[in-house]
Amino acid sequence: MRTAARRATTLVLPLTLAAGALSADPPGRPDPRFVVEAAHRFLPTQHALVAVRTLLTEAGAPAIAGGTLALYRVLDPYGFALGPLARDDRHFAVDPIGREMERLLVGRTPLPRRGALLELQRVTRVGALDAVRGSPDGRSDLESDLGALPTGLYLARLTAGGWSATGTVSVGALALLVRRGDGGDRVFVTDGDGAPQAGVTVLRRAGVGRAEARTDAAGSATFAATGELTARFVASRGDDVTTADVAHADEAPCDVRVYLDTGRRLFFANETMHLRAHVRGCVGGLDRPMADEPVELRAAGQAPVTVRTDRDGNLVADVPVGCVRAAVRGREHTFCARWGAPPEYAPRSRRRLRPAPPPAEVAAPEGASPAVAAPVVVPPRLLSVRTVAARVRLGEPVEVDLHAPAGGATLLTLEQGGVLARLDVARAGASRVSLPTAGASAGYASVVATRVVGGAVSTASARLWLGASPNLDLRVATDAEQVRRGGRVRVTVRVRDADGAPRDPVLSLWVSDARWWAGAEEPVAPGEYLRRPERRTDPGEGDAPGGPGADEGRRHDPWILWNGRRLPHLGYRDTWSSLEPNLNLDASGTFATVAQSLAAAMGLLGADVCAARERSLGAVRLRVREVPEDLALARIGDATRTVVSEDEGRLVFECPVPSGPWGDGYGSGAGRGLRNRGTAGPVVRSERRRNSPPEPGLFVGTRRAANGEAVFDLAAPDAPGFVWRVEVLAIDDDGSGARAHASFETY
């Protein structure tokens, strides 16, 4: 559950600062000096307030000492609302409306002064700003009370010397709420306190197309889906006009996904990795395993090989240690393993075999049934929403605990690629309500609470899973803790769904020296990776266009160009696992020069590079756009064949330790000290330790469980004194899955 307080939306800026900004500055100005903005849309009964925000100078004084604040009324608010969709591209100073503002301001006739587009109603002097409250972000703020204004659209323009900034002030009784999804667009119109408004005309402008609808008795109207990314919605009743700009990108009903697994992530360099892959995508418009699908496998030092999936969408293959790329229908999916050696320990002394204990079971992490969230104590003035259960079966209602502050009303919606259900809640305080799931499909959905009170809009949202859980309850057990070298070991696998019913997924099994997992990164669970991406619904509100809604992963285009070549493995999905700041950079020169620029962009003290690598690379150019820092370092390490780390505030690019006939074994992760979320570690020599087992272990490619169980009768490795880990991967036809393991010791 997350409560999102509605932020003030900057409508006009001297320089573009945020979404929703309008710019009137000439190019080349270093930073903005001041802005004028309104917190939200105001009711005619409220005092309209605008804030003047100015940057502080290095000496701590406001950048401007005062100015003149002029209030203009827009004579045609509906025509103004149909202006450019991209508000941050609009320049008032060069528009006819900007030139008229100047003419009216310098006019000599008594106020109000009326032009063709505007009416200048008042001009007031804004005093020195050095006495107003300071803000922690280096700004000084002054609030100006414009008093109660009649319904309409106003422009508040502050002039100071040769500069000006204009903010839009909207006054009216209508509140506009928009939800855009793949199935169409839906709008809700209420009054300033959330009561539905019938008979209000709503216009949607998307590209060159326009469509109109009138709200029904519940204050709602629908529009057919449009392929346009951005649409503007205008709700109007006389001079009461409110707008919302909402962007939405239609998504395919399902996309191609490939889950790749080799059982572990660390290998000897001369080992063979046993690869299991599962391919899913659209089959007849539904998310299904892709049978008999050609998959091109690419591994370093080998020619590409095409392998076809079996009837369950699976394939197995042997590949060399390193990165494996699987290309399916033009999309590439990558799995990378590193080579090295497991942590060393002395061989175990031979011990007498103890009686076999009960089978040792290790369950899949996190289990299969999402736990019900603990009650959340919410301050009485905040809007909050939470679902009673984290997962709800299709066809069953979603039980919701709602806490609404006093005043106004709350619109509660269930959203999944559009609005599936709505409920109007007028009462304040805590309540439990339910929403039907008719029309929903398996996957994530969001419950969104939208509160309208006093013309202001606030939202809170909670996410839940509809349908069967993407995680299976997978348990693995061995029949003995100790097994004679070369003897037999019996491994039992049990699979259940979240409700305890048997499931029959396709299983893969690896047996390897347990030391390989010491401190190793746990792979992503297959159910989490293969689940269908969330079908998002994009929101917008008339008081603050582009406001936040349910949480979701970004869909954008991150990239890194190294000497003009786009580095691979940088899709938007790759960025979802990172919480690091996004990096944007354009640097060129020697490798050392570029590394210094990279460190400066990350706020570090400097960079150190391997001299040999700098000489071999020569002149380079690095361009980065919207890539998380840790992911960027990992990809740059791959491109430069260096090991990247952070040491005492400095970025370090090290040459890898030579490793004999298998190359130089660079690591493709990024060590960031306590912030490290990558997989890279110190480079180690690829050589077999004195006490390493003489064989890598066992692999069972694919076997389907029967009635929720499978038994593997395996030969124990012929290596005494070692603990062996049995790793099991399960993936079912619906994309649910899990990993689990057990262990035994050879003597």
Q: Express each pLDDT in 91-130 by its tens digit.
A: 576 678 878 888 888 778 888 999 998 989 888 877 654 3
Distance (Å, rounded) from C-alpha 171 to C-alpha 492? 69
What's the Cα-to-Cα distance from 467 to each of 6, 439, 441, 464, 499, rounded to whole Å? 32, 12, 7, 10, 11
Per-residue tokens: 216: 């029904």
Q: What is the Cβ-side half-sphere exposure of residue 58, based on CA atoms within 13 angstroms?
A: 0
* Residue pair 500/367 in contact by the 8 Å Cβ criterion: no
Per-residue pLDDT of 32-63, as tens digits, reads: 466 777 878 889 998 988 877 776 666 666 66
Task: Band the pLDDT of 380: cuts 50, 70, 90.
Answer: very low
Distance (Å, rounded) from C-alpha 513 to C-alpha 365? 21
Residue of 102 and 343 predicted with greater confidence: 102
| For range 729-735, the mean pLDDT | 90
Identify the pLDDT of residue 638: 87
Identify the pLDDT of residue 661: 36
Distance (Å, rounded) from C-alpha 444 to C-alpha 337? 31
Residue of 36 and 438 predicted with greater confidence: 438
Distance (Å, rounded) from C-alpha 472 to C-alpha 502? 10
Q: What's the longest Cα–Cα distance across the chain?
A: 108
Q: Quickly list DSSP for 260-307.
A: EE-S-SEE-TT-EEEEEEEEEEEETTEEEE-TT-EEEEEETTS--EEE
Lowest mean pLDDT, pick from 139-148, 480-489, 683-692: 683-692
* Residue pair 153/174 in contact by the 8 Å Cβ criterion: no
The residue written with tokens 């994009």 in the block is 538
Per-residue tokens: 609: 């590079």
Task: Band the pLDDT of 14: cuts 50, 70, 90.
Answer: very low
Identify the pLDDT of residue 341: 64
Distance of CA 236 to the CA centre of its chain: 35
Per-residue tokens: 440: 């929903």
Lowest mean pLDDT, pick from 86-90, 103-107, 212-216, 365-369: 365-369
How is the chain split among helix, strand and coil, in percent rounded to 5?
Answer: 10, 45, 45
| For range 480-500, the mean pLDDT | 91
* Residue pair 63/57 in contact by the 8 Å Cβ criterion: yes
Question: What is the pTM assigned to this prediction?
Answer: 0.58
Backbone angles phi, psi at 368, to 5 degrees: -105, -25
Distance (Å, rounded) from C-alpha 143 to C-alpha 164? 17
Distance (Å, rounded) from C-alpha 209 to C-alpha 587? 42
* Residue pair 64/147 in contact by the 8 Å Cβ criterion: no
Distance of CA 543 to the CA centre of its chain: 25
Distance (Å, rounded) from C-alpha 633 to C-alpha 651? 10
Using the predicted structure, report yes or no on whether residue 255 has a pLDDT greater than 80. Answer: no
Task: Band the pLDDT of 584: cuts 50, 70, 90.
Answer: confident
Residue of 339 and 323 predicted with greater confidence: 323
Q: What is the average pLDDT value for the chain, to the nearest integer?
A: 76
Identify the pLDDT of residue 352: 37
For residue 391, give the 3-state DSSP assignment.
strand
Distance (Å, rounded) from C-alpha 585 to C-alpha 92? 31
Identify the pLDDT of residue 188: 94
Using the predicted structure, report yes or no on whether residue 734 has a pLDDT greater than 90. Answer: no
Indicate the helix (H) or strand (E) that contains 639.
Answer: helix 629-640
Is residue 94 exposed (0-12), middle (13-18) or buried (19+ Cβ within 10 Å)?
exposed
Candidates 172, 22, 145; CA nearest to 89 is 22
Using the predicted structure, report yes or no on whether residue 143 has a pLDDT greater than 70. Answer: yes
| For range 147-168, the mean pLDDT | 82
Return the percentage of the chain with pLDDT > 70, whole number.
Answer: 74
Indicate the helix (H) or strand (E) that contains 597.
Answer: helix 591-601
Distance (Å, rounded) from C-alpha 151 to C-alpha 173? 8
The torsion of the CA quartet 212, 216, 219, 224, rounded to 10 degrees, works out to -40
Per-residue tokens: 40: 């939200």
Distance (Å, rounded) from C-alpha 245 to C-alpha 187? 12
Is residue 673 exposed (0-12), middle (13-18) or buried (19+ Cβ within 10 Å)?
exposed
Residue of 218 and 332 predicted with greater confidence: 218
DSSP 455: T
Per-residue pLDDT of 231-243, as tens digits, reads: 889 999 988 999 8
* Residue pair 186/222 in contact by the 8 Å Cβ criterion: yes
